Amino acid sequence: MHPVRLVEAWTILTRWLAPRRMLWRGLAVAALGLAIAVGAGGYLVQQRDAALRDAGREMQNLALVVANWVESDFRTIELLQVGVAEWARAERIDTPQAFRARLGSREVHEALRGRIAALPRVRRLFLADSEGSVVATSSAWPPETASVVQRPYYQALRDDPARQSFLSAPLLSQADGRWNIYASRRISAPDGQFLGLVVAAIELAYFEESFSHLELGPQSAVTLYREDGTLLVRHPWIEERIGSIIADNEQLRRFLARSSGDTLRRESPLDGIDRVIGARRLQGMPLYLVVARGTEEVLLPWRQEAGRLGLAVLLVEGLLAGGVLLVGRQERQRRAVQQLRAAQAEAQARIELAEARARAARALEHEAALEAVFANGTAGLAEVEIASGRFVRVNRRYCAITGRSEAELLGGLGPADVLHPAERAQVGQRLRTLAAAGSNWETELRYLRPDGGVVWARLSVSVSARDAAGQAVRCMAIVEDVTEAREATERLRASEALLRLGMEVGHIGTFRHDFVTGLVQCSPEARAMCGLPPGEAPLSVEEWWSPILPDDREQLQMLLDSPAAREALDAVISYRIRHLGDGSLRHFEVRVRPEFDAAGRPLTALGVIIDVTASREATALQRLSLQAGRIGTFRHDFVTGLVECSPEARAMVGLPQQPGPLTTEQWWAPILPEDRERLRESIAASTAAGVTDASSTYRIHHPVDGSLRHFESRTRREYGPDGRPLRALGVVIDVTERREAEAHIAHLAHHDILTGLPNRGLFRERLDRALARARRGRGCAVQLIDLDRFKEVNDTLGHPVGDALLRAVTERLRAVLRETDTLARLGGDEFAVIETDVDLPQDATALARRIIEAIGQPFEVDGHQVCIGASVGIAVAPSDGLEPDALIKGADMALYRAKADGRGCWRFFEPEMDARMQLRRALEMDLRRAVAAREFEVFYQPIVDVRSRQVSGLEALLRWRHPERGLVPPDSFIPLAEEIGLIVPLGEWVMHRACAEATTWPGTPKVAVNLSPAQFGHRGLVGAVASALAETGLDPARLELEITETVMLQDTQATMATLQQLKGLGVRIAMDDFGTGYSSLSYLQRFPFDKVKIDRAFTRDLERSRQSNAIVRAVTGLCTGLDMTTTAEGVETEGQFQVLLHEGCGEAQGYLFSKPLPAGEIPALLQRLEHAAAAEAIAP
């Protein structure tokens, strides 16, 4: 073929293939992009499934762990119940009667209580017999009468011998509103007979709190079901669904079968949240545990990763598409170049024509776009010819801003014609600057509309056209309406001005009264000042005025109703209020600024209220002070030398009341000569120096009563042009009482008022000085002294006698001290001594002995002979410390030890005392808490008639049941209760309780109640006994009050009078612990006791000691002669009882008959002792 033909054919083929290569290339890139998208989608689906599977495995693992923990708790409870059942079997309890009799004791109660002590989830553990009656419980003794016959767990275990345990549905406690489930176990006899069951009450809140510690997310849930689908526990807690059946048993089994394999998702029937779930059945228990986590929380990381991957895929797809387009463009350009080269000459003209047409089209499009933007812009646009200052063109928005039509503006007007007059000069100057420099500028200015309205606008001006020389010809202005913003700013400034007005007058409140609606809007400060409740809602006028006093409210209403007040621009009103919160009277000052409409009618009132109570009270107090403070005034004329003074001033200094001024010599005549000369020199020096304000003090001998008075003078002087003094205005103040009071206060600040001894403050100062010497090798000792039996003297003889006794003690202590020692009274009956020059601890012994001996001697006080004692605690420096607090603390602990060791002795500080003191303080805190928590009980021990063995009475004994230590021995807390003042309320409670419970006993046995010395010394004792008898209805003859010989030690008329008053109530009086005191026989002579109780110290040795026999025989014979009953305490053996019977003792008390028992066991005890006495009576 001809070469030319080949070239033409190749050219035709190339032209035919060129566009198709582009198509194939696009298809290839599209296929690649689709593959990338599909791959990314598949990856995300795979990752989503993996996230769900991982969450499912996590929930399964967590369900396994939590199920094991819950299973362990229930296993522990099960083992506890099995242990109780095995224990019953080991005790050979094989009949229902044996079950009730042997498991209904207090020992079983203590055992049950001890078994659950370490199980906080078990609220209580109890035993029920075959008839469903509760026979023992860990929560209380004796157990309350209760039956579980109607409970499902009792019926299930009673009716099904093959069933050994049962777990109940949740039950809501009526006592405290808590949810419990009851795990019960059958207790059977060896032959299978149903004996009863042991039941554990398990608190569900324990498991819910434990589940809450699993931090899985806000949508997570942990749920415990019973095998029948009953909801037991769930976190988060849903109160109304507890105990409801969520799913039946078959649904739960299918659910567990599914959850044991792959991931399980489902929507919760409780709250509708879709969750990933793991579940486990508790091994060998009718329980299922479900742990679930919200699907949204599980897939949150996957969604974040999907978002990032999606963005990456889109970016890759975009890059591929851009690459295809770029390659296509390059291909087209290459073909165009080839075509141009082939027909350059032919296409040149066409290209130039096309380019010209394109430029023209673009220019038209650009111009049209600019015209559209110009005409329809949201901002006002105006083009101005700089030379003529006239508008060239404007848009619709500019016409709206200026309030003029386009024809008006283009008809020859310029910017100066539409601007506010105040803005025209500024704009003209700016246009000239723009023409010269050609720079842009911005400002805010005002337009004046034809209707008189003013529009604020933000103006931005720039050059829009230049001539050939580059000079600015036209400028374009962009105008934005900012009127609303400026008005908002002005309103803010007005509000700030109101706030500044309030701040100028102090701590105030603001309010706004709307006269149209009648509502008042007030600030939180205004509400608080009036005591109104907080809030933002407006108040009615009645609510706003409610705190105002009625009289002031009427005057305020009259004032506001007057036309003058309504038209006033500013009004100041004063009134008083009664604060609605604390009820205090307060003075308010109100400043109001009303706003009026065009007709002059008030619309609103803005105001502030100012609490001027302090200033009003200060003014009143100032006036009162001037009237009552003995203040006089005077005026001294330096030119004439005359002094004019007020009548008060004349009377104060003793000058005659006569008219006319005084001379300087007359005015100064009463002043002491030495003070007069000092005063003359002071005045001369201050006037020479031109001092305006001066003050001075001086003394006078009052001419009338001759007393020495102290005065203070304060003056203000005026000077002439030449510097010479003209006159002085002043006041004279009688400060005599103040000076005397200051001296007295200075003494009282360091001394005790009653005894004149140094007080605690001065004692510390002198102790600091003594310890400073001790650091240099000169030792000292601190001795704290506490008066024994002083409180009894104070209570029985009265405080005046107690005060006189303290003064007498002070004199004796001073007599045994050296001059270098310091004696101080620290308060009450506590004294302290600082003994100096103590080299060894033993050096302080001599002084302590003298102190105890001196105080131990009888005192004669106001006709009464008083016997007291002293206990001394000693701490020595430097061996016991060199700090004041440490030394005082050590002496205090030593004093406590001395009192504990029997009083009337001294003890030195020892380091181990601190530990004992800490234990005592802990016991004291427990004791105070026990009184508030009602942890005390009253036990009773029978008193038996020796001849008939019949119970004649019972003694009430206080017991403390500590929540951790059980029953606390009385001798561990009774002395402490007496010391800290708790024994009086405790004793009154015991008496009232004993009287009340005695009324429930069969027959008429007496009840004996002990009275401590502190109770007996209390003034309300007789009233407390009478009140207990009246409120309980107990026959007074059945009440015996036992007192110890300690009560009789203070043999005073008050003691005997109290005993006579008690006897007058009809009660019996017994002397307890007879024979252990100092002069027991004399007490029997002074007061006719009804009974004498022989101390157990004599009863204990009756079978072995002839001396004890003789003492019992003597006391019995003595009391028989005095018509008194004798009761022997501590009888524990039959041999002791037979000796008492032989010796003629009337009554016996002790463990031979019964140990002290709680009130609930007393009726059975009385019945048992009655049967025993009857059997003894008929025995051969």
pLDDT digits (tens, 9 = 90+) for 426-482: 887 777 777 666 667 788 888 888 888 888 998 888 888 888 887 888 888 889 888
**Reported confidence tier of residue 978, pLDDT bands at 50, 70, 90:** confident
Q: Is the pLDDT of residue 19 over 70?
A: no
Task: State the average pLDDT over residues 124-145.
Answer: 86
The tokens of 722 are what?
């030449």
Q: Which helix (H) or strand (E) holds 696?
A: strand 693-701
Q: Strand locations in 487-645, DSSP E? A: 508-514, 519-522, 539-540, 571-578, 585-596, 602-611, 631-637, 642-645
**What is the pLDDT averaged over residues 1150-1176?**
90
Work out whether strand 122-129 and strand 134-137 pair parallel, antiparallel, or are unpaired. Answer: antiparallel
Q: Count other Cβ atoms within 10 Å, centred on residue 277.
A: 25
* Position 1180 pLDDT exceeds 60: no
Q: How many CB atoms lie within 10 A of CB 335?
A: 14
pLDDT recorded at residue 259? 53
Residue 27: pLDDT above 60? yes
Cβ neighbours of residue 828 closer than 8 Å, sequence gap 6 or more: none
> Which tokens in the block code for residue 389?
């200052």
The model's pLDDT over 1011-1060, given as tens digits with 9 standing for 90+, comes to: 988 888 778 899 999 999 999 999 999 999 998 877 776 556 777 888 88
Instruction: Give the residue, 921 or 1003, on which the prediction is more confident.
Output: 1003
What is this structure's pTM? 0.37
Give pLDDT, residue 255.
Answer: 66
Beta strands in 218-297 (DSSP E): 221-226, 231-235, 264-267, 274-281, 287-294
pLDDT of 247 > 70? The answer is no
DSSP string over 3-26: HHHHHHHHHHHHHHHHHHHHHHHH
pLDDT at 940: 96
pLDDT of residue 1039: 96
The dihedrals phi and psi of 199, each to the nearest 5 degrees, come to -125, 135
Q: What is the mean pLDDT of the chain?
A: 83
pLDDT at 666: 86
Phi (first) and psi of residue 383, to 5 degrees: -110, 130
Q: What is the reported pLDDT for 995? A: 96
Task: Pick the range with the lowest mean pLDDT from 141-145, 633-637, 693-697, 1142-1146.
Answer: 141-145
**pLDDT grade for 4, boundaries at 50, 70 and 90:** very low
What confidence score (pLDDT) does residue 757 get? Answer: 93
User: What does the pLDDT read at residue 1132?
Assistant: 93
pLDDT band at 743 (very low <50, low <70, confident <90, very high): confident
d(CA 650, CA 273): 95
**Other CB atoms within 10 A of residue 903 CB:** 15
Q: Beta-carbon neighbour count of residue 29 at 10 Å? A: 17
Least reliable range by pLDDT among 606-610, 661-665, 950-954, 1049-1053: 1049-1053
Nearest-CA neighbor of 897 among 927, 867, 875, 877? 875
pLDDT, tens digit (0-9, with 9 covering 90-100), for 186-228 = 998 888 889 899 999 898 888 888 777 777 778 788 888 888 8
Q: How far apart are CA 1053 and CA 812, in angstroms?
A: 27
Full set of structural domains in the chain with CATH: 51-296 (3.30.450.20), 378-483 (3.30.450.20), 496-613 (3.30.450.20), 626-741 (3.30.450.20), 755-909 (3.30.70.270), 928-1093+1153-1173 (3.20.20.450)
User: How confident is the model over 584-598, as pLDDT tens digits?
Assistant: 888 988 888 888 887
Share of residues in the chain with pLDDT > 90 (%): 20
Angle at 830 between CA 802 and CA 771, to 5 degrees: 150
Q: How confident is the model at residue 944 (pLDDT cuts 50, 70, 90)?
A: very high
pLDDT of residue 361: 61
Which pLDDT score is estimated for 365?
Answer: 61
What are the pLDDT digits (tens) for 609-650?
A: 888 888 787 766 655 555 566 788 889 998 898 999 888 888
Can you tell me the distance from the alpha carbon of 94 to that of 570, in angstroms, rounded to the nearest whole number? Answer: 100
Is a pLDDT exceeding 60 seen at residue 1138?
yes
Which residues touch 583 (CB under 8 Å, ≥6 apart)?
Answer: none
For the ranges 217-226, 675-684, 1145-1154, the maximum mean pLDDT occurs at 1145-1154
Name the E strands within 354-439. 380-385, 390-394
Greater pLDDT, 452 or 1178? 452
Residue 1099 above 50 pLDDT? yes
Alpha helices in 613-725 (DSSP H): 613-628, 647-653, 664-668, 673-688
How far apart CA 1000 and CA 822 sit, in angstroms, is 62
| Beta bridge partner(s), residue 443 | 459
Strand partners, 25: none
Question: Between the CA atoms of 464, 470, 471 and 473, what dihedral angle is there, to the nearest 10 degrees?
Answer: -30
Which residue's entry shows tokens 């003034």?
A: 1019
pLDDT at residue number 219? 76
pLDDT at 367: 61
The per-residue pLDDT for 625 is 58
* pLDDT, tens digit, 9 for 90 and up, residues 325-355: 777 777 777 776 666 676 665 556 556 665 6
- pLDDT tens for 291-303 read 888 888 877 888 8
What separation in angstroms does the CA of 262 have from each of 59, 219, 277, 771? Answer: 11, 21, 10, 82
Q: pLDDT band at 368, cuts 50/70/90?
A: low
